[in-house]
Amino acid sequence: MKTFINVIAYISIISLTLLTSFCTTDNSEKKILPEYELVVEDTISIDYIGNLSVVDYQQESSKYLAVDKSKGNQVILVFNEKNEILSNFDNLNAGNNSFKGSLNSISFSKNKNEFLILSDAGLYSYDSTWQIKLFHKNPNSQPKFLNPYFSIEHFDYKDKVFFISSYNFDDVNFNYLQKEFFQEIQNLTLIDTTSGTFDTFVHFEQNSPYLSKSRLLPPYITHFSFNHKHSNLNVLYSQDPTIYQYQFNGKEFIHINSYKLNLDEFKLNEGNYENDDYDAFKTAMDSRINRMVSIEDKTYITYLKAMNQSKFESLGIDYGDSEEYNQFIFSNYVEAISIFQNGKKISRDITLPDYLTGPHVVIGPNKLLMAVPKFKYESSKEVFYIINVLPKL
């Protein structure tokens, strides 16, 4: 039986997204929205034993970039849809080409067959043979908040190149059990490769539930994406189904709008957040946003459906790290996907089958890469599914 820590780690899933604007869907619209379904097109089976998290996809070459979480994020793989491992980088044995400190973010570079890595030490640029080409040193202290799914956004603005990550070194009181934490924290870092600065930015807006005076929300994950067409940054947090949109003016991001998302079965039990405190064993049964991925005008948001606490309590099981509690969590862990196009919800939410989780990345407007949930199924290989998202006939 896996421990409760495994459950919390798995629940705290994120991903990268690209959003422009979002609008709510009222009950009448919800009733007439069409149904979509997930259809398996193909399987990728990698002859590798570990715990791979796919973090980026290169459309031109159909290559996938993944990190092995079971190896302390020190091993990085590139593989293709022919089940071939094309590249394997082991940071512990890379000598002078190793990155220093913990891995925070990684992606394919805009230059083909090259890579970007952000660690405690700074921003590295690697060539196709994993030789360091450039290094931008982080002039600040060690980061305190990390991105567990290793995504990084890079964009050009006039003659400068910027990078965005949830890498955070802000010198605040990092005690998320106190409301002051949410008032002080800056959730992202902007890296200016011209000036060499690493600046934290994006705080919780005034209407954020994380700033509520009547309740304290649990630790969260920051989902973010940069819209290259409009120079907009879109930010979303685990327990708040709201897109916060920011406009880049060349120096900083200015908050310009917020958009509430109508997720069919997203629910927080208010009774779990009373008296300026929360019970982690109770809030693990609440909804939370696990991933967002996007391509062109299509965006997919994956979230955990709220579990039935009344049913749990009727079983006479105590909240705590017990075999009975963990079994209830595992057997009632169900995710759903909500689909948006041009900022508007286009279908009823799709309940994921038991053997799928994700998506890790978007392959095309109607095609996703999904995986087998490791906490439910064991395998001697790393297995991923190419999924088509289609209107239900």
Q: 221 by DSSP, 3-state: which?
A: coil
Q: For the whole model, what pTM was predicted?
A: 0.85
Task: Note the pLDDT of residue 149.
Answer: 54
Task: Note the pLDDT of residue 109.
Answer: 87
- Domains in the chain: boundaries: 4-391
3-state secondary structure 61-124: CCEEEEEEHHHCCCEEEEEECCCCEEEEEEHHHCHHHCCCCCEEEEEECCCCCCEEEEECCEEE
Rounded CA-CA distance 11/333 in Å is 9
| Per-residue pLDDT tens over the stretch 217-228 | 887 888 887 777
Task: Note the pLDDT of residue 341.
Answer: 85
Task: Note the pLDDT of residue 240.
Answer: 94
Rounded CA-CA distance 237/221 in Å is 6
Task: Note the pLDDT of residue 148.
Answer: 55
Task: Note the pLDDT of residue 306.
Answer: 95
- Is 391 in contact with 35 (CB distance < 8 Å)? yes
- Is 223 in contact with 236 (CB distance < 8 Å)? yes
SS3 content of the chain, % helix, strand, coil (to 5): 15, 40, 45
Q: How far is CA 244 from the centre of its chain?
A: 16
- Which tokens is 20 given? 């422009």
- Which tokens is 40 given? 């398996």
Q: Which residue has the tokens 């998320």?
A: 176
- Is 357 in contact with 12 (CB distance < 8 Å)? no
Residues of the chain with pLDDT under 50: 1-21
Q: Which fold has domain 4-391?
A: Neuraminidase (2.120.10)
Task: Note the pLDDT of residue 11.
Answer: 29
Count of beta carbons in the 10 Å neighbourhood of residue 60: 7
Rounded CA-CA distance 75/91 in Å is 6
Quote the radius of gyration of the chain (alpha carbons, Å).
Answer: 21
First to last CA, the chain: 40
Bin 213: left if φ > 0, else alpha if -120 < ψ < 50, else beta: alpha
Closest to 92 in 3D by CA, of 68, 56, 123: 68
- Which tokens is 274 given? 């009373």
Q: How far is CA 311 from the centre of its chain?
A: 30
Task: Note the pLDDT of residue 3.
Answer: 30
Task: Note the pLDDT of residue 224.
Answer: 84
Q: Report CA-CA distances (Å) from 274 to 216, 271, 280, 283.
A: 8, 6, 12, 11
Task: Note the pLDDT of residue 146.
Answer: 53
